[in-house]
Amino acid sequence: MKSLILASGSPRRKELLEIARLSFTVQKSAVSEDISKEYSPEQFVEQLALHKAQDIYSKNPSDVVLGADTVVVFNKQILGKPENDKEAFNMLRMLSGETHHVFTGVAIISEEKKRVFHGVTEVTFWNLSSEEIEEYVRSGESSDKAGAYGIQGYGSTLVKEIKGDYFNVVGLPVAQTVRELKEFGISNDLSQSRNIS
């Protein structure tokens, strides 16, 4: 049976695959995330996920490789990870009281096939004061998150409402990814499951 490799150093994606009871190893891709912003958000995340997966697959051609990337989109502007606290503050001030979309692109590659897709979730923030934003940025959680927040952490206090897949905002549309992986011969490891018969 083929082995699954996650081509991402994201601890959140690692945790989501573990929750889904998938057996895998991690190899972080070193490809540049500087892809043309002329792409639509869907194309942007799919291309970046594909580049990451191809990078690791080229070194592991007998395995199944999963790449993913997440961005926040507001007013047609793609927001990646902030470069510093000031940029994080400005991103969050932009998103305050507004609705934005989170896109996660996923690419799965094996010797036999390739599958690229994306998920999208609508997220609405509460109206945030400058003090609230500054407090959140000081927490350090903004630093490696698309759109400068993490919905699964302290950033949950910023979110008023979501429409769509919560896990897509965390970094991976888990249910769809698991279903796609089955087509590559990768299934959940339920050996630790309780016997319910």
Query: What positions carry a catalytic annotation?
Result: 69
The b-or-e profile of 9-22 (16+ CB within 10 A means b, else e) is ebebbbebbeebeb
**What secondary structure letter does DSSP report for 195?**
-
Residue 47 is encoded by which pair of tokens?
């291309």
CA distance 136 to 155: 7
Residue 162 has a CB neighbour count (10 Å cut-off) of 16
